[in-house]
Structures are given as structure tokens and as C-alpha cells.
Amino acid sequence: MEVLLTSIPVFLLVFIRVLSFFLVIPIFSYRTIPARVKIGLALYLAYVIVFTIDTDPIEFDMVYILLVIKEAIAGIALGLIGYIILSAVQIAGGFIDFQMGFAIANVIDPQTGAQSPILGQYLYIFAFLFLLSVNGHHLLIDGIYQSYQFIPIDQPFLHFGDENTVKLIGKVFSAMFIIGFQMSVPVVASLFLVDVALGIVARTVPQMNIFVVGFPVKILAGIIILFIVMGTMIFSVKSLFELLLYSLRDLMLLLGG
């Protein structure tokens, strides 16, 4: 009974970090997943993790408030890194939509409730299907489990002010845009050549209304090119997941000091 009472503060701290992680990280943070499921999964994982943590007994005192805040920030920071990296797919779709003429129309993402590009949402679905097919969600759960080896639960502060932490966040942002650009380059470059061809046609055949003809031609060409290069985009998504795992590990190391 005494062991159970001393483990309650540790259990609550573990639950806060896991729940904060699930509220931000993609897949688990979707609005279509009921809150009861998220809380229940967080409770179950916290129950499993708490018996694997080797720490001194923690009491409910003023330091405990700092630990609660630290655990919430740690979970949100880890989940936010994953969300930022996977947003590269949305950026790639935004580049393609702009070139195809779809940028004027956005759709509401039912998972997040935010507006997103049409093709960005299409590629996002494929990316997450690929993530689920390779058990990427298991790796995310394993990541929050392994975080207690890097960020001790009894550590009251996180090393956010470290220069290396700022550099890591900058590298993650730059890598997100670079990978998104790499994913969209085949389609964007091909559609640029279609624009050049339409410009030549407009100069050689001035009687043709190129604005009426150009939009359906670009849409048709974009869909065909997208179908051809879909395999290459999925390969880029694979490197995106590798970057996600490495970034989570590096951030844990830096936050843990």
C-alpha cells in the first residue's frame, strides 16, 4: 500500500507527459479520435511506463508544480517537432496547388479543423497511410517511452536556452521546407514547362484564348505527372520519417542536458 501511494505522484507526471504528447503529435491528435480514447491510451501507457522508471520517491510539494509544468512542456515539445516535420507534406501540396491553379481553393481538414491545400491533404493522407503501414505509430509510442531515459522525470527544468537546442529547431524548420520542396519539384518543374509551352502557343496562335485552354491543360498535366512521380514522393516521405525519429532523439538529448 505504501509503495502504491508513493508511485501516484510519479504516475501523474508520466500521464501528463504522455497525454501532452498525444495532444500534439499527428495521428493521435486528430479531432476524430474521441477524447476518452486519448485519455484511456495515455492512462494505459503511463501505467506501463511508471513501473520501468527508476527514480526516488516524489512528494506533492512546491517542486512538484515545476515538475508538472516541465512534463507538459516536454510532451508538447516532442509532439510539436513531429508535427512540424510532417507538415512538409502539406508544404509540398501547397507548392503543387499554386502551380496547378488550385491555390485559390482550400479544403477543411476534418482531422485538424484547419484549411489545407487540396493536393496537400491528398498527399497527407497517403503519407499517413504509409506511416501506419510501416508501424510508424509504434515508433512514436516507443519514442515517448524512451524519452524518460533522456529526460529524467525528477529533473525540474528543461534546457531550452541551450544554443544547440535553438540550432536543432532551426535545422528542423529548414529541413521541413527542403523536403517539401524536393517532393514538389518534379510536378512544379514539369508544370513550368507546360506554362512555357502555353506561352509559345499564345504567341504563335493569338486567336486562341490561352486562359480558357490553359487551366484544364495544366490540371490534366499535373494529375498525370503526379501519378507518375507518386513513387518518388513516397520515397521522400520515408526520409521524412527518418528525420522525425532522429530529431526526436536529438531533442530528448538536448532537453535532458
Binning pLDDT at 50, 70 and 90, where does residue 2 land? very low
pLDDT for res 4: 45
Mean pLDDT value across residues 111-121: 65
In the chain, the percentage of residues whose pLDDT exceeds 70 is 91
Express each pLDDT in 64-75 by its tens digit.
888 888 888 888
On the question of pLDDT at 115 being above 70, the answer is no
On the question of pLDDT at 133 being above 50, the answer is yes
pLDDT for res 110: 57
CA dist 24 and 80 (Å) reads: 6
Whole-number average pLDDT of the chain: 79
For helices 136-150 and 35-50, what crossing angle results, to 10°?
A: 50
pLDDT for res 104: 64
> Structural domain boundaries of the chain?
78-256
On the question of pLDDT at 214 being above 50, the answer is yes
| C-alpha of 70 from chain center | 22
CA dist 181 and 96 (Å) reads: 10
